[in-house]
Amino acid sequence: MATYTPMIQQYLKIKAEYQDAFLFFRLGDFYEMFFEDAVQASQVLEITLTSREGGVEERIPMCGVPHHAAPNYIEQLVSKGYKVAVCEQVEDPRQAKGVVKREVVQLITPGTVMEGKSLEDKQNNYIASITEFDHGSSYGFCYNDLSTGELQVTLLSDWNEVLSELLSTGAREAVVSSSLSEQKCKQLQDRCFVTVSIEDILIEFEEVIPHLQKLNGEKQKHAVSRLLHYLIRTQKRKLDHIQSAVFYNTQQFMKIDMYSKRNLELIETIRSKGKKGSLLWLLDETMTAMGGRLLKAWIDRPLIDTEKIKARHDMVGVLLSQFFQRSDLREKLKEVYDIERLAGRVAFGNVNARDLVQLRRSLQQVPAIRSTVAELELPYANSLASNMDGCEELLDLLEQALKDHPPLSVKEGDMIRDGYHEQLDLYRNASRNGKTWIAELEQKERELTGIKSLKIGYNRVFGYYIEVTKSNISSLKEGRYERKQTLANAERYITPELKEKEALILEAEEKIVGLEYDLFLLLREQVKEYIPRLQQLAKMISEVDVLQSFAVVSEERHFVKPVLSPEHQLRVLNGRHPVVEKMMDSQEYVANDCIMNDERQVLLITGPNMSGKSTYMRQIALTSIMAQIGCFVSAEEATLPVFDQVFTRIGAADDLISGQSTFMVEMLEAKNAIAHATQHSLILFDEIGRGTSTYDGMALAQAIIEYIHEHIQAKTLFSTHYHELTALEGELHHLQNVHVKAIEQNGRVVFLHKVQEGAADKSYGIHVAELAELPQKLISRARQLLATFEGEKVTSTTTKKEITEETQLSFFAEQATTVKESNLSDKEREILKQIKSIPIMELTPMDAMNKLYEIQKKLKG
C-alpha cells in the first residue's frame, strides 16, 4: 500500500468498503475507475481502457466517464444487476492540504434506483429482505419500493414460499444475512434473478423505530430492520417518505403460486416475457402510473373477502352505467402525475421545480375527482372521496411560489414567481430595469445641475460613475458628488445612491440564481411535511383509477357482473378467454359453458390437440381471478365461488437452470397442488403424465385424479389424451367427462372449439400433423402404422374385466407373455386373488413392501 501514490491509496481504502460495487471515483470533471473495476467496466460499458502511473512499476488499468454523462453509464450498469458506489470530492480542492477528501455519497443498486429509464412508470421497483429464523423453520419477508415509500412485511413458513413471494413482487434485489446458506443465495440469483446484498445489522436505532410502530412481534421487526438499515447505510440520507411497515398475511388473499402465475400469463407472457398478451395488458386502462402499479398488485393478490369483492363490483357497476361521470373522471385523472414518486423525490432530495409544478397540477384536479366520486352514492365511493385529502395549503403554496414553466435545473433561476419574495423582486427589478434607471438618473442629474453634457458611464475597474467635463466643474455644488477619478479633460464622481444601485445591478443575476435556489430548498422542506398526506391521497386516486379501468374494459369487452356463490357453485354460461378473444381481434371467439357443483367436482376433458382444451381451462381460472380482484368477467352469465387458491399444471418446459426435466417439473407442480389445495381451491391439470412412458403416465394420471376426487375434493379441470381414463366417470361419482368437439371433412380435421358433454371419440393426432404440413410420405406412413396398431388392439367385444383378468403387461419385452388363469396352479390362483384384493391406494410405502414380501415368500414356498 505504501508504494502507491496518496491518491491511489485513498482509492483503495474506499474501494475496500465497497468490494461488490463499481467505485465511481471523482477526479475533477470525470469519474474514474481503476484496477479490476476499470477492466470490467470498460467491457460492460464499451469504453476505452487506458492506464496511469500509480507509484508502482506496472501502470494501473484505468477508465473514466465525464461527470455530466455519469447517470447514463450508472443506469447501464445497474440495469445489468451491478452496484455503483458514487464517490465525490467533499472538500474544496483550493483549501485541501494534500489529497482532496473524498467520500461515497450514495450506493446505487438495482433495488434502490430513484430515476432513469429503468424505472418504469407502471412498474414498482422493489427491494426485498429475507430473514431466516430458527434454521429455516420460518422466514421474515419484507419489501420496499424506495421510489414510492411502500413498505410491507410478512412471515412465511418455508423456503419455496419465499421464492414464490420474491418472484411475485418482481423484486430486483434481495438483502440477506451473511449466514444464509450459499445454496439459497444461489437460488435467489439463478431462479429469481435478483442481486443479492448482505446486511447483518438488526438493532433498532432512532431512524428505524418510527417505521416499526405498526408491527407486533420481534420477527416482523427484525425483517424490516434489516432492510431499513441497508437502505439508510447505502443511500446516506434521511428517507422521510418511507411509510410505516404494514404486515400482511398471505392467507388474506387468493394464493397463486409462481408456477400458476407463469402458466396463466397474469403479468407477462411465457414466450416473450412482455406485457402484451397478459391479463395485465388486457385490464390496463388506467390513466395514472399509480393506478397501473396498483392494478398489478391487485392481480398478484386477488381478494377472498366476499364483502370487499362485492364492494368493488358495485363500484365498477355504477361507473359502467354512468358514462359521462366516468369520462369526466378519466379526463381529470389524465392530468394527475405520479404523486407517489414525486413525494419520494421530494424526500430523497432530487426533486426539481418541474416536478413540483406537476405536483401542483395534480392537486388542482383533486376537488373535481373527489366530487365525481362522491356523486356515485356508494359507501365505498364515499369512503374514497372522504379520504381524498386535497392538501389545499400545499396547493396554495405551490401556486404562489412556482412559475408555470421553470427550467429543468434548479441552479439556473427563473423558477420563483414575482411577488413571492420581496428581496428577490428587488433583485429582479434591478436586473430588468437597471439600464432604464441609469438613464433616468442621468437625465435627473442634468436637470438638477444644469450641465447638459453630464453623463453616467461604466468600466470594470470603477463600476458606474458620473462624468463631468472640467469646463463644467464650477457649476457643481460643493459636496454633491464624491470624486473618484481625474482625467485630462474631465472628472469622474460617484454617489452613495449610484453605488447602491450599482451593487444591485451588477450582483442581481448572481444573487437571483442563488436566492432562487435557497428559496426552492426551503420550499422543498415545506413540501416534505405533506408527504404522508400526499401518499394517502395517492392511494385513494389509485383505487379510483383501477376501478374506472375495470369499468372501461368491461364496457368495451362486454363483460358481466359475476354473482358470488356461498354454496361454492360454479356456473359460467358462454364464457370466453378474455385475452385470447382480444388477440383474435376480428375473428369470432367460440364461447363455452362450464358447470361445476357438488355433483361435478372434476371435469375430465378430452379432445384433439389444438382443439382448445388448455384455453378452456385457462379461461375458467382467469374468470375466477378477474372476479376476485373486483372486475367484471368475460361471460354471458357467471356465478362463481370464492377460491382460496389456484393451482395449474399447463404446458411443458424443462427447468434448465435447476437441471430438472419436463417430467420432474410436471411432478413438482402437481405435488405442490396436491399438498396445499383445499376443497375451496381450483386445480387445472393439463395432460399430466405425458412426460413419461404411456403406462406410467396413465397410471399416474388416474392415481392423481382419484386422490383429488377422494381426498381433496377441489374443483378440478383435468385434460388428457389417455382416452382410457374416461371410464373413470362410471367409478368416481363426482367426475364428469366433457370433450372439445372436432369433425372430419374430406379427410381433414375441423376444430369446432365447442365443449360438449361426454368423452371424445378420436384424438386426430395425424390430422393435426397434417395441418402442420409435415411431409405427405410421413403422414401416409403414420396412417399405415396407426391401422396396424389399432388392428393389434383387444377387440371391442373384450370386456374390461376380461382384460384385467387375462392380460398382464410387462416392462420387459423378453418376459412379455399372456397368462391364462387356467394354466396357473391352485396356489398361484390364490396369490393372484390376494393381489387383486389389495387396496393399493390405502397402503403406505412400508405396508406395500411388507405385502410384496409376503407374496414373494408364498411364491417361493
CATH number at residue 140: 3.30.420.110
Is pLDDT above 80 for 586? no
Query: Would you mind telling me the total number of residues written for the chain in this entry?
Result: 861
Whether pLDDT at 858 is above 90: no
Cα–Cα dist 108/83, whole Å: 6
Same structural domain for residues 103 and 133? no
Measured distance CA(471)–CA(198) in Å, rounded: 85
Contact 534, 358 (CB under 8 A): no
Return the closest-CA partner of residue 550 out of 564, 539, 561: 561
Does residue 541 share a domain with residue 567?
Answer: no
The cell numbers describing 86, all together, are 458514487
pLDDT at residue number 246: 93
Q: Is 722 helix (H, G, I), strand (E, B) or coil?
A: coil
pLDDT band at 817 (very low <50, low <70, confident <90, very high): very low
Task: State yes or no: pLDDT of 656 exceeds 60.
Answer: no
* Mean pLDDT for the chain overall: 88
Phi first, then psi: give them for residue 128, nearest 5 degrees.
-115, 160
Segment 778-800 shows an average pLDDT of 61
Compute the average pLDDT of residues 434-450. 87
Grid coordinates 432562487 are at which residue? 516
Is 587 in the same domain as 711?
A: yes
**Residues 502, 331 contacting (CB under 8 angstroms):** no
> 163 with 187: CB under 8 angstroms?
yes
* Predicted local distance difference test score (pLDDT) of residue 479: 81
Q: What is the pLDDT of residue 798?
A: 37
Q: Are 537 and 558 in contact (CB under 8 A)?
A: no
Task: Please state, in angstroms and rounded to a whole number, the distance separating the CA atoms of residues 775 and 806.
Answer: 41
| Whether residue 673 is found in the same domain as residue 616 | yes
Inside any domain, residue 345: yes
pLDDT mean over 69-95:
93
Position 779 confidence tier, pLDDT thresholds 50, 70, 90: confident
pLDDT beyond 50 at 362:
yes
As a whole number, mean pLDDT of residues 405-431 equals 90
Q: Using only the alpha carbons of the chain, give its radius of gyration.
A: 38
Binding residues: 607-614
Between 476-490, 691-705, 814-828, the lowest mean confidence (pLDDT) is in 814-828
Of the residues 736, 762, 788, the one at which a domain ends: 762
pLDDT at 183 over 50: yes
| pLDDT score of 71 more than 70 | yes
Give the residue, 538 or 830, on which the prediction is more confident. 538
Q: What is the pLDDT of residue 585?
A: 76
Q: Which domain holds residue 506?
A: 422-523
Residues 569, 552 share a domain: no
Cell, residue 281: 395488458
Give 497's pLDDT tier (boundaries 50, 70, 90): confident
The CATH number assigned to the domain holding 436 equals: 1.10.1420.10
pLDDT tier at 13, thresholds 50, 70, 90: very high
Does one domain contain both 497 and 569? no
Distance between CA 460 and CA 80 in Å, rounded?
A: 54
Max mean pLDDT among 161-165, 543-547, 683-687, 812-816 falls in 543-547
Quick check: 23 pLDDT over 70?
A: yes
- Asked if residue 801 is part of any domain, the answer here is no
- The answer to the question of residue 121 being in a domain is no
The answer, yes or no, to whether residue 659 has pLDDT greater than 80, is: no
> Whole-model pTM?
0.82
Residues 510 and 534 in one domain: no
Confidence of residue 841 (pLDDT cuts 50, 70, 90): low
Pick the range with the lowest mean pLDDT from 645-659, 681-695, 721-735.
645-659
Please, which pLDDT band fits residue 795 given cuts at 50, 70 and 90?
A: very low
In percent, how much of the chain has pLDDT > 70? 91
pLDDT of residue 804: 40
- Flag the least confident range among 34-43, 176-185, 286-295, 791-800: 791-800
Q: Report the CATH number at residue 653.
A: 3.40.50.300
pLDDT, tens only, 611-639: 888 999 999 999 999 999 999 999 999 99
Q: Using the CB atoms, write b or e for 558-580: b if 16+ within 10 Å.
A: ebebbebbeebbbbbeebbbbbb
| CA 563 distance to own-chain centroid | 30
Residue with cell 363483460: 559
Cell 403424465 belongs to 689
pLDDT score for 809: 38
Q: For the chain, what is the domain count?
A: 6
Q: Regarding predicted confidence, which is higher, 478 or 265?
A: 265
**What would the DSSP string read from start to end of 362-395?**
HHHHHHHHHHHHHTT--HHHHHHHHT----HHHH
On the question of pLDDT at 813 being above 80, the answer is no
CATH number reported for the structural domain that contains residue 19 in this entry: 3.40.1170.10
796 band by pLDDT with thresholds 50, 70 and 90: very low
Q: Is position 270 within any domain?
A: no
Cα–Cα distances (Å) from 257 to 113, 453, 677, 678, 691, in that order, read: 28, 92, 11, 14, 22
Do 36 and 133 sit in the same domain of this protein? no
The pLDDT confidence band at residue 357, using thresholds 50, 70 and 90, is very high
pLDDT at res. 764:
62
In a domain, 771, yes or no: no
- The grid coordinates of residue 384 equal 374514497
Q: What is the DSSP code (8-state) at residue 794?
A: P
Cβ-Cβ contacts under 8 Å for 405 (sequence gap 6 or more): 357
Q: Which residue has the cell 458620473?
A: 466
CA–CA separation, 117 vs 106, rounded Å?
Answer: 19
Please say whether the beta carbons of 374 and 384 come within 8 A: no
Mean pLDDT along residues 45-53: 94
**683, β-bridge pairs:** 647, 716
For CA atoms 444, 448, 454, 460, the dihedral sign is negative
Claim to verify: residue 169 and residue 215 sit in the same structural domain: yes
Residue 468 CA to residue 453 CA, distance in Å, equals 7
- The answer to the question of residue 104 being in a domain is yes
More confident of the two residues 609 and 373: 373
Q: Is 268 part of a structural domain of the chain?
A: no
Judgement on whether residues 442 and 495 belong to the same structural domain of the protein: yes
If asked whether residues 578 and 671 sit together in one domain, one would say yes
pLDDT of residue 767: 60
What's the confidence (pLDDT) of residue 768? 64
C-alpha cell at 314: 358495485
Please compute the mean of the pLDDT values over residues 203-218 and round it to a whole number: 80
Summarised one tens digit per residue, pLDDT across range 115-136 is 888 889 999 999 999 999 998 8
Q: Are residues 45 and 143 in the same domain?
A: no
What residue ranges in 92-194 does DSSP mark as E strands? 102-108, 126-133, 138-145, 151-156, 173-176
Q: Which positions make up the binding site for ATP?
A: 607-614
Give the pLDDT mean for 147-174.
Answer: 93
Mean pLDDT within 759-764: 72
Residue 814 has pLDDT above 60, yes or no: no
Count CB atoms within 10 A of the CB of residue 328: 16
User: What is residue 834's predicted lDDT score, i.e. its pLDDT?
Assistant: 81
474 in a structural domain? yes
Q: Is the pLDDT score of 500 beyond 60?
A: yes
- Give Cα separations from 490 to 459, 461, 719 (angstroms): 15, 17, 108
| 573: three-class secondary structure by DSSP | strand
Residues 6+ apart with CB under 8 A from 843: 851
